[in-house]
Each structure stands twice: as structure tokens, then as C-alpha cells.
Amino acid sequence: MVDSTPPPAQAGKMEMYGIRENDPSGELVDLDGLTDEDIAQITRLMRALGELREVEREVSEASAKYMELNETDMRALHYLMVCENQKDIATPSKITKHLNISPASTTKLLDRLEMAEHITRSQHPSDRRALQIRVNPATRKAAYETVGRLQSRRFYAAAHLSPHEREIVIQFLQDMAERIDMKNVDWTKHD
């Protein structure tokens, strides 16, 4: 039997993920039908997700600081490396679409990355009107040795699960992403 009781709060540390701590009046979440054990286990799950987000934030900040890049720069480099790995030619317009930024922002991003010697721009091999964007080998190596090594540990965490457990986690994460997708939020409602 799995212990579903939350661990005791550490001295001076407040429970930040419990529904009762965050919604004491029950305005946001209907707890009918849930036992105290259910609520405690869900709190542990929310705490685990919060801890994962915090670790990922720390990794992202540390790698960005190490490589002297911002989050968008890091996302662009990751995209460029995946394009190269898949033998797909990255262009400014593809980067614009992937990052969901304006063409002007893409130009500034590429200028910044090129000036820092993270990328090269060259003539597209089959489209004279387009440019091909590639990651420099030193940047690729630095990214693999830092962020890549840390992020690859996710694979091993997933590999430790059975196929059935992985399907449950996949369904849970997809459902959570769908429920909190910003496209499903109406920010104009105020009572």
C-alpha cells in the first residue's frame, strides 16, 4: 500500500501545493467525492510537479548563464540542432514560425546569435531567396555537454516505468496540458 499522507512540513516551510491551502473556500475546485487520502496524494503529485518545474527552471537558467543566452536564444539553438539532426534546413521563416515571434524579432535574434558566434548564416542550397541557419560546432558541443546531458536524464526516468505506467503518465500530462492551455483561458472574465 502506498502512503498517501503528505510528509510533515519542514520547519518554516509552507505547503504551497495543497488545494486546501490554495483554495480554502472551495471556489476553484470541488472536492466532493474525494477522500482525505485522495487529496493528500494529489497534493504530493502537485508538489512533485512543482519540484520538477523548479529543477527545470534552475537548469534552464544555469545553462543560459553558462552559454550567455536568454530563453528564446536557447529555444532557437535547440530548434536548429534538431533541424540539423533531422537533416532539415533551418531558415529564418521556420525559426519565426517555431518560436512564434515576429520576423523582425527573428532577425534580431539571429544577429545576436551570429555576433556571439553561435550560428552561421549561409545561402540556402536550393532556394536563392532564403538563408540556411546552422549552429556552430562549439555551441553544439557546449549545449550537448550541459543542457543535453541533464535533459537526457528524463529518458532514464521514463525508462524505469513499465509501458503501462508510461501510458498513464502520458495521458495525465496531456490532460493537464490541455486543461491549462492558454488558448482555453478567457482573461476578460471578472466578477
Q: Which residue has the cell 516505468?
A: 161
Q: Which residue has the cell 530548434?
A: 79
Give the pLDDT confidence score for residue 189 in this predicted structure. Answer: 67
Give the pLDDT confidence score for residue 123 in this predicted structure. Answer: 95
- Residues near 178 by Cβ (< 8 Å), separated by ≥ 6? 184
Give the pLDDT confidence score for residue 148 in this predicted structure. Answer: 85
Give the pLDDT confidence score for residue 4 in this predicted structure. Answer: 47
* pLDDT by residue, tens only, the chain of 191 residues: 555 454 555 555 778 888 889 898 889 999 999 999 999 999 999 999 999 999 888 888 888 788 888 889 999 999 999 999 999 999 999 999 999 999 999 999 999 999 999 999 999 999 989 999 999 999 999 888 888 888 888 899 999 999 999 999 999 999 999 988 887 777 776 65
Yes or no: say if 5 and 14 are a contact pair by the CB < 8 Å rule. Answer: no
All three cell numbers of 13, joined, read 516551510
Q: What is the CA radius of gyration of the chain?
A: 22
CATH no., domain 71-143? 1.10.10.10
User: What is the pTM for the complete model shown?
Assistant: 0.75
